[in-house]
Amino acid sequence: MSTESRGRTVGVDLDETIGPDPFRLLTLGCVAVLIGSYVHVLREVTGVVGGTQSLLLLVGAMIVAATVLAQTIRPRTATIAAVVAVAVGFTYYFEATGAGVGTALTASGTIVSDTIALATGLPLLRMVEVGLWTLGFAPGPAFLSWYLALRGRYALSVLPAGFALLFLVLTGDAGTTITLIGTVGAIAAVGFGELERRGGSIAQADLLAVLFAAIIVLSLSVTFLPGDDSGPAFADGSSGTLEGTIDTADEQSGISGQVDLSPEVRFTVEAEEHSYWRTGIYDRFAGDEWVRSGQTEEYDGRIGAPPGEHETTTQRITAETELGVLPGAPQQVGLEGPPVRHADVSSHGQPQPADTLVEGDEYEVESAVIDPDPDELRAAGTDDPEYVTDEHDYLQMPEDTSSEFEEYTAEVTEGAETRYDTAAAIERYLRTSKGYSLEVDQPSGNVAEEFLFEMDEGYCVYFATTMVQMLRSEDVPARYVTGYTTGQKIDDDEYVVRGLDAHAWVEVYFPDHGWVAFEPTPGDAREDVHNDRLEDARDEGRDDVDTEESEDVPISDEADENESDDERDDEENGDDEENGDDTDPDDDPPGSDDHPNDDTDDGSGVDDGDGDGDRDLSELVTITREQLAIGFVALVGLVAGVRRTDATTQARREFRLYWHGRRSDPDADARRAYRRLERLLAREYRPRHRAESSRQYLAALSAEESVDPRAKRVAEAYERATYGGGVDREEANEAITTVDELARERLPILRRFR
């Protein structure tokens, strides 16, 4: 009957069950987010070692395959297919790494221990052929998850991709943000999947939104906890010491922004020859950090010596504080002493202590020092052994390295015909074109490119990183090494090495000679800064900055000497002239205090006015993208919560009780006035029963209470407006005024003043 259809209301009813389709789409979207999160982590890995395109193609093909097969094959078949895909992937990986499938089967113990090593925090980037590994790892979970999601098995579909993500969390490769995104995706997939299955409503979905907002905001706020610099969402880039940055972990070497120098004495060296004391070797560059690939093995009495002619020297090193590294002149070939009995040796030939050395620990290092002259190196050729070209990433560059970087390097090295000339040209270029400063802002993206193109000054980490990458772009095998400069010479054969001597430099491979060190950091400027810091520390009266002997000896200039490159001395002299003005920051006239940044500029002879501007800006604008995102999430949660609790409606009602709002046509105004009156009366006496007419309501109230007689006139205006064909402006205004008065008389505080 027509009357029935009229009774039905038109419009969106929020409690009405909505169709399953939106929830299905949401669920599939969430599963896609989950898959995307773990693939993203793998993509970051391939971004370093190459193979991003193959990875994305492979995953894309799996998604397509799952979509096609979702309607045709049964879950069991799909699972088997996924397992087979993973097996094929890893077989290929083992074959490619040279280990062979046979090894995988026979040496299952190694595989298990490797897996455990990965799952207990070994980053993927440490693995040899990690690119192939990701290609083996990625497709299986993506296929299975997407397949199950399309089949409507939402809870199950979360598992494969979820495990993949979990594994990457355990290896430490998945950061907090990406983990959170993946986790929320997984939970949302299950939640929306359930809503779809049970025919949920939008009202329930907004409850889900509140929960997600709570999860995200709470889990991210955990990293607000003090002392956690690595909180990904809110990392403030706070500077540690140079040393701490270089040795963030024993398999990684970080690159940060502004760093401090620790004047504390680390160790003393008794050595016949001065040298840089090397502590770490890194081959894989991830754009913002260095990673050492390959496994370590226990020290077995001998470390491989350089292939060419070398002299053997011995150093005796005494730890003056706790020491997590084994410094020694390169190339260390033998170790002796109790603390190093169980030392590990990386596949690059750098020994590391098994346990942290404590103050007073002593050990002896035997080093094979090569000292070829430039002509020999020029004649060395480029016939690199497999150890250099294949087994390690000495030629690796991040995938996103721009062609400009390579072109610019080619320009710098134009005319250099040999490997040595190339290295020398790059070294010279960096030493002369960039200034030294510890106060830099960490660039985002590829540090080498940023330093080459955007920055005017930096410190050793920047110089060395950029030089290695420039060398590699010219196909010169190079690696990034860290350690300490020679230190303060306090006797003929004794050196005191402090935290501020921490350093990073470059080693280049020459066939038949081995690894030759190059120093791209301008020496004088660095030394000035470092010595100033030591003097400051001495002035402060710190007692850990000197040993008994070092106090009385002037701070030596030994640190700037490079043991392998004779030409360097000349260049250094040139630098001396360039930086010749002895303007000490402290000697500046008082008038120049308005330009505090000029101090460092003078020291390095480089104008970095732009850099200052950037720094000031970044200090002012402290809202990061992550904070924005979290703010947005919190806002969404808040909105959903508000909708859930209907708080806005409540607030609007409350507000509308006292304020009529913008006037529209008289009829609507009269009706609105009456509604306000009704709410006033409802608060004071009782609400109108739904089946009561306005007259009956007022009559019923008047019968029991003394209702303001003005109310009746408002009700009459309402009646005329609703049923009687309308009221005129004047009547409507009168009704509004009356209700305004009535409302104000009932305001909690204001009415006292009447």
Partner 1 sequence: MTDANPTSATGREPHTPNTLPISAIESLCSDVEANVSRVIVGHDDAIEHVITAILGRGHVLLDDVPGVGKTMLARSLARSVDCRFRRVQFTPDLLPADVTGVNVFNQKTREFEFNEGPVFANVVLGDEINRAPPKTQSALLEAMAEQQVTVDGTTRELPDPFTVIATQNAVEPNQTYELPFAEVDRFMKKLTLGYPDADEETELLGRAVGHHPIDSLEPVTDLETLVRARETVAGVRVEEPIREYATRLAGYTREHAEIGVSPRATISLLRAAQARAVTDGREYVIPDDVQTEAPVVLSHRIKTDSRDRDGASVVEDALEYVRVT
Binding site for partner 1 (CB under 8 A): 3-4, 6-7, 690-696, 719-720, 722-725
Q: Are strands 457-458 and 351-352 parallel, antiparallel or unpaired?
A: unpaired
Q: In what order do the strands lie in the sheet with 284-285?
A: 252-254, 289-291, 284-285
Q: Which of 286, 294, 323, 741 is nearest to 499 (CA)?
A: 323
Closest distance to partner 1 from the beta carbon of 726 (Å): 9
| Cβ-based nearer residue to partner 1, 7 or 590 | 7
Cβ-contact 377, 567 below 8 angstroms: no
Q: Which of 510, 525, 622 is nearest to 572 (CA)?
A: 525
The one-letter amino acid at 172: G
- Element (H or E) spanning 210, and its range? helix 202-221
No. of helices (H) and no. of strands (E), the chain: 28, 18
Closest distance to partner 1 from the beta carbon of 712 (Å): 14
| Cβ-based nearer residue to partner 1, 7 or 748 | 7
| Cβ-based nearer residue to partner 1, 43 or 688 | 688
Closest distance to partner 1 from the beta carbon of 707 (Å): 17
| Cβ-based nearer residue to partner 1, 1 or 620 | 1
> Coil, strand, or helix at residue 366?
strand
Between vectors from CA 142 to CA 141 and to CA 146, what angle results, nearest 5°? 115
Closest distance to partner 1 from the beta carbon of 59 (Å): 58
| Cβ-based nearer residue to partner 1, 363 or 697 | 697
As to burial, measured by CB atoms within 10 angstroms (0-12 exposed, 13-18 middle, 19+ buried), residue 55 is: buried
- Rounded-to-integer distance, Cα 55 and Cα 138, Å: 7
In the DSSP assignment, the letter for residue 752 is G
| Cβ-based nearer residue to partner 1, 472 or 720 | 720
- Tokens for 594? 């308005």
Three-state secondary structure string covering 115-148 = HHHHHCCCCHHHCCCHHHHHHHHCHHHHHHHHHH
> Coil, strand, or helix at residue 271?
strand
| Cβ-based nearer residue to partner 1, 345 or 721 | 721
Q: Which residues make Cβ contacts (< 8 Å) with residue 669, sequence separation at least 6?
A: 660, 663, 732, 733, 735, 736
Cβ-contact 498, 534 below 8 angstroms: yes
Closest distance to partner 1 from the beta carbon of 689 (Å): 8
Closest distance to partner 1 from the beta carbon of 3 (Å): 5
- Rounded-to-integer distance, Cα 680 and Cα 663, Å: 20
| Cβ-based nearer residue to partner 1, 275 or 694 | 694
Q: In what order do the strands lie in the sheet with 351-352?
A: 296-298, 344-346, 351-352
- Rounded-to-integer distance, Cα 220 and Cα 217, Å: 5
Closest distance to partner 1 from the beta carbon of 730 (Å): 17
Closest distance to partner 1 from the beta carbon of 700 (Å): 12
Closest distance to partner 1 from the beta carbon of 721 (Å): 10
| Cβ-based nearer residue to partner 1, 541 or 725 | 725
DSSP notation for 542-594: -SSS--TTGGGSPPPSGGG--SS-THHHHHHHHHHHHT-----GGGS-GGGGG
Q: How many C-beta neighbours within 10 Å does residue 352 have?
A: 19
| Cβ-based nearer residue to partner 1, 33 or 714 | 714
Closest distance to partner 1 from the beta carbon of 737 (Å): 23
Closest distance to partner 1 from the beta carbon of 658 (Å): 23
| Cβ-based nearer residue to partner 1, 449 or 669 | 669
Closest distance to partner 1 from the beta carbon of 7 (Å): 6
Q: Which of 330, 422, 439 is nearest to 374 (CA)?
A: 422
| Cβ-based nearer residue to partner 1, 156 or 721 | 721
Closest distance to partner 1 from the beta carbon of 699 (Å): 9
Closest distance to partner 1 from the beta carbon of 694 (Å): 8
| Cβ-based nearer residue to partner 1, 527 or 669 | 669
| Cβ-based nearer residue to partner 1, 295 or 722 | 722
| Cβ-based nearer residue to partner 1, 3 or 230 | 3
Closest distance to partner 1 from the beta carbon of 34 (Å): 48
Q: Compute φ and ψ for 543, nearest 5 degrees.
A: -100, 0
DSSP notation for 455-506: -SEE-HHHHHHHHHHHHHHTT--EEEEEEE---EEEETTEEEEEGGGEEEEE
Between vectors from CA 128 to CA 328 and to CA 466, what angle results, nearest 5°? 60
